[in-house]
Structure 1
Amino acid sequence: MRVELTYLWRFGRRPDLERPTRFTEWVQWRKLNDRSPDQPQLLDKVASKKLATHLLGREAVLPLLWTGEIMPMDRPFGAAAMVKSRHGCKQYRPVRNDAEWRAAARRSERWRRRSYGGWLDEWAYRDIPAGLMAECLLGDGRTLPVDYKIYVFGGQATHIQVHLDRASDHRWILHDRDFRQLVPSRDEPPPPRSLKAMLEAAEILSQGRDFLRVDFFEGCTGPLFGEFALYPGSGLDPFGADWVDFELGRLWHAARKERSRATKGGDVRQFRQDAFGNAIVGFPSPWTDAQNR
């Protein structure tokens, strides 16, 4: 009931949870129906880096500088960093000096005391250990780096959501796989240099799943994995045009249908284990082949 009422409050309409057709409805459906046991591990920002390192290699993952349950008052490293909770979303503070570290330490107490995701029914956050982390802050240290969020349906990367100026005038633009804007915007960010590798890495990390969003930054030598998202915007962020909601919903439905067909038909694919010991399935990849050589 709460999921339906929250959706109604946000969009002025009830979601169809029996036969979802919109992307935003599929996100609500996932909250209520998808209990895949590895979802907490995907959303755990520390554990997900372990998975990405296992599948892509250390050089393709944004480095961690520190992890722990409580931030010490004295900064344990000298580099600029982004401090985050490992068990929540939108809980972060950039740290460039000792004063900002101490301010982040005080704020982090609030993050640690509160469980995340309950009021929006994002159940997968529930079992993530409460904790904190600091990862490298890319760029010049004054502005936050551009964030590239890849939408992957049925193992195919289809869209790139580019986030700009997250610390001040946060806005995002959705592109198709060829980096064409779906809805015209005043911003026209260029594609990342490593777009091709970024899409390929996102597909490797999303094998065997109906939908997963995989977030990257542009590094000096290629893409750097940041984190996963199972409930983008909690399914409550409107798109720039209504048809986009339907188009992404169609892709989710098709991916789920194909996955069901392949499972029932005994489709022969490559099975292996991820870093958590869970079986994952997908076709062999040139990226992983290269990593294994």
Structure 2
Amino acid sequence: MRVKFFIAKVLSFVPDKLFSIIKYSLYHKKIPNLNGSSFSEKLLSKKCGLMGSEEKQLRETVTDRLLVRDFVEKTTSGVDLIPLLWSGKVFTKKVWDGLPECFVIKARHGSQMVKIVDKNKCQFNEVYNATEEWKKTDYYLLGREWVYKNTPRELVVEEFISFNSDVPPDYKFFCLNGKVELVQIDLERFKDHKRNLYSRDFEQLDVKLIYPSGEPTKKPRLFESALGIAEKLSQEFDFIRVDLYILDEKIYFGELTNFPENGLGAFEPQSYDQALGAKMRSNNA
């Protein structure tokens, strides 16, 4: 990761739009058309900031791990927010002492800066040092996702939600114009990452997105409720990915994602990229 950030700093002189187009070309192996009809091209146009000021402000708000909680509470019911245990600028020993044995600490200003903490397995200094590194990190510069540029470099701590003594499966709902069109399920993402893709009717698709498919997943009892929640949360967007944790009796909110895989994830087969894009009508069209 440090090497990636070093390279990002070296290339900081390259304009965001040009940087994103070049990276897209390398990952998707084609030169994009910002007015193109595929899903990845439409996502790229948004990553290049081709939208109105109100939409930009909304996308910045829902990216912030703290501010998005208010958005969720105002937008829908039936979904639980993972209890917030603490938020602030500096993770001190006093804060550590006041937290339970297990918790999850995250940075507000970027993805991948997340740590599941078990006090029986790690020490305060280890967690503190990690959070200090996070705060030094300009996550926006790494992938030029402008939604992170103005987010405060602060921390949030949430309760650890277990699922059969493990991390719960992560359900990611791709919502296009307020309707779920694709469901991504990530399995064992901290061990041997697998990824299954499903239709809104929970039919497994013969489509791959970066990771290999895993064993078929049983449809959760609360899947239809989660689908409705995702669609309510997505009503103001032409595209947003709604991430939820579906447990036996509860649905927990995870996050709202503007640019999945930084817009660089290529579907296999490529024809699915076109098919998904055909279902997306841009708010700026």
Same-fold status (TM-score > 0.5): yes
Which segment is superposed worse, 98-107 or 3-12? 98-107
Corresponding position of 2:98: 76
Contact 1:148/1:162, CA 8 A, preserved across alignment? yes
Percentage of identical aligned residues = 26
The secondary structure found in structure 1 opposite 2:86 is strand
User: What's the CA shift string for 1:98-124, capped at 9, x where partnerless?
Assistant: 653622221111111112122322111
Residue 97 of structure 1, CA deviation? 1.4
Q: What is the CA–CA distance in structure 1 between the aligned matches of 2:158 and 2:276, rounded to whole Å?
A: 31
Which residue does the alignment assign to 2:41?
A: 25
The separation in 1 between residues aligned to 2:121 and 2:77, in whole angstroms, is 34
- Superposition TM-score, scaled by structure 2 size: 0.83
TM-superposition CA deviations, 1:154-181 (whole Å, max 9, x none): 1111221101111111221111101111
Task: Determine the structure 2 residue equivalent to 1:12.
Answer: 29
Residue identity opposite 2:253 in structure 1: F
The answer for the alignment partner of 1:170 in structure 2 is 193
Counterpart secondary structure, 1:172: strand
Give the 5 Å matches for 1:1-293: 1-17=18-34, 19-32=35-48, 33-34=50-51, 35=53, 36-57=56-77, 60-73=80-93, 74-97=96-119, 99-100=121-122, 102=124, 103-139=126-162, 143-183=166-206, 185-252=213-280, 255-256=281-282, 259=283
Is the contact made by 1:49 and 1:227 (CA closer than 8 Å) also made in structure 2? no
Task: Compute the displacement of 1:135 (Å).
Answer: 1.4
- The CA RMSD measured in Å over matched residues stands at 2.1
Q: Indicate if the aligned counterparts of 2:79 and 2:253 stay in contact, CA closer than 8 A.
A: no
Which amino acid counterpart does residue 134 of structure 1 have in structure 2?
V
Please tell me whether the aligned partners of residues 94 and 100 of structure 1 are also in contact (alpha carbons under 8 angstroms).
Answer: no
By how many angstroms is 1:219 displaced?
3.3
What secondary structure sits across from 2:91 in the alignment? coil
Which runs of no fewer than 5 residues in structure 2 stay unpaired?
1-17, 208-212
Moved more, 234-243 or 179-188: 179-188
Query: Contact 1:62–1:225 (CA<8 Å) still a contact in 2?
Result: yes
Q: Secondary structure at the match of 1:248?
A: helix
C-alpha distance in structure 2 between counterparts of 1:9 and 1:221, whole Å: 43
Structure 1's unaligned 5+ residue stretches are 262-293
Deviation for aligned residue 1:221: 2.4
Q: Does the 8 Å CA contact 1:214/1:229 hold for their aligned counterparts?
A: yes
